Structure 1
Amino acid sequence: MQKSYFKYLNTTPFEDKWGIYVTTVGYSKVDPNDHYPNQEHPQSHELTWNRGRILNDFYIIFISKGKGVYASALTDPAEVTAGTCFFLYPGVLHRYRPDPNVGWEEYWVGFNGYYIEKLMTQDIFDKQSPLVFLGPNKDILILFRQLIELIQASLPGYPQQIAGITMQILGLISNVVQHHEYVHDPVGKLIAKAKFIIQESFEDNLDMEKLAKQLPMGYSSFRKSFKRITGESPNQHHLNLRLQRAKNLLDTTILNINEVAEQTGFESVFYFSKLFKKKNGVSPKHYRENREAFIEKDDIDQ
């Protein structure tokens, strides 16, 4: 289960030269009737509904669960539902909060730089329409989690890596704005929602029959449609997500094999190692010891 986390980052002249730099990243789960915000932020970032707030950077806020409301000096109050992201612009008064009866889960990234300042004035994104409905988009969830993981690991060069991921997030949102994903395919929408739920809880044991009822779909129809659209069964998709996450942890952290197995939801390190070797041809230990060679091979294969 994702834990609440946030970090405010210092930037150096080198990040400024890069043209895009990240100033903050975070995730927060706000339960019904929680005080909002339910974390202590720097005074410059304090947010109250009555006073609103003005920031100096660009922000993307993604609401993965729950609902609430958003308003700014440029827009009237608007309902924000799960699957919606919204932009905050430098110097623009804004305010937002979850519905106290429902709560929400939010991811955010703050960013700036001379390249970003130019990009955000190119009529790609509209200040007058800062809300974008992405639906249950698993890709944006993956990218926000990668941001958090890279900052937590803080390996050399991570500021440039998180700048690149932020550009990916902007590209994904732009693609949805331009091409209106999730329009005329009701079954595709349900499978996209299922993929999102699986991605959000990939480290947990999931009952796929219960998941099908949540959509709602009959289990047989759900399984067939999921395989037709994704090329793999729901359970195989779930397992592959866990194994891919394990590879990422082996690549980017110093967690030992037991800790990697635990963080990816495997019941034992033996079972994890067995499935990892079946999927990748080598044990987790051998993969880590030779990861540079494997990363090079993956790049060539692609």
Structure 2
Amino acid sequence: MRVLGSYAWVYLTSGSGWFQEAGRPRRRVRAGDLLLLFPEIPHAYGPDAGGRWDEIHAVFDGPVFDLWRARGLLVPEQPVRSLRPIRRWFLRFASVLAPALSPLERVVRLQEVLAQALASADRSRGPSRDTAWAARARALLEENPGSELYLSEVARALGMSEETFRKRFVRATGVSPWRYRLTRRTEIACRWLHEGGLSNKEIAARLGFSDEFHFSRCFKRITGRSPTQFRALVDRG
């Protein structure tokens, strides 16, 4: 099986074949199916023996797609989506690869088309059990961002051990429960820094960090900048 360091999508426009990820059974795929490939997840796919298929594909990465994954928009447990009519979706995916696009335009177009594809596929299939579980887990992790949270309590609320919860959450979202909660707290901090009115020390206290230094270290781990640097960017903007 192959392992990518990036995300990729493969849209089948004709033919049929198979798709498989490590630890999961091989499944049938056919024209009109979108295959979503995730970083670090071993996978393999191909047309039926003696047959062929036609496809359009692209490799992509970036923090925005990591956030989509953490938010449950890109779900590793749902790697195959059905998109029809084929001609319409082929043209949409082909528009992402248009040579005339600038790098920025291509990224924006990719996000637009991929968001449309995920929304369309979700409407046709309805929420899965795994998607509902991940949504419940994320909601529990987002509760009371300024209070101390014990993963054992979240796991118990979901009816499983802490270790089972941690592993399943990583499989579903691509990030650990701890990092997911820290990212949500950082998003709140970014909003407060943008709005102004609160010092770094006050934000640290409201979000449950032990002190301003701890807050700054965690904030930089997620954003790449300290709160003071982020505030300076906001002021200049």
- The interval holding the TM-score normalised by the smaller chain is 0.3 to 0.5
TM-score (norm 2): 0.45
TM-score (norm 1): 0.36
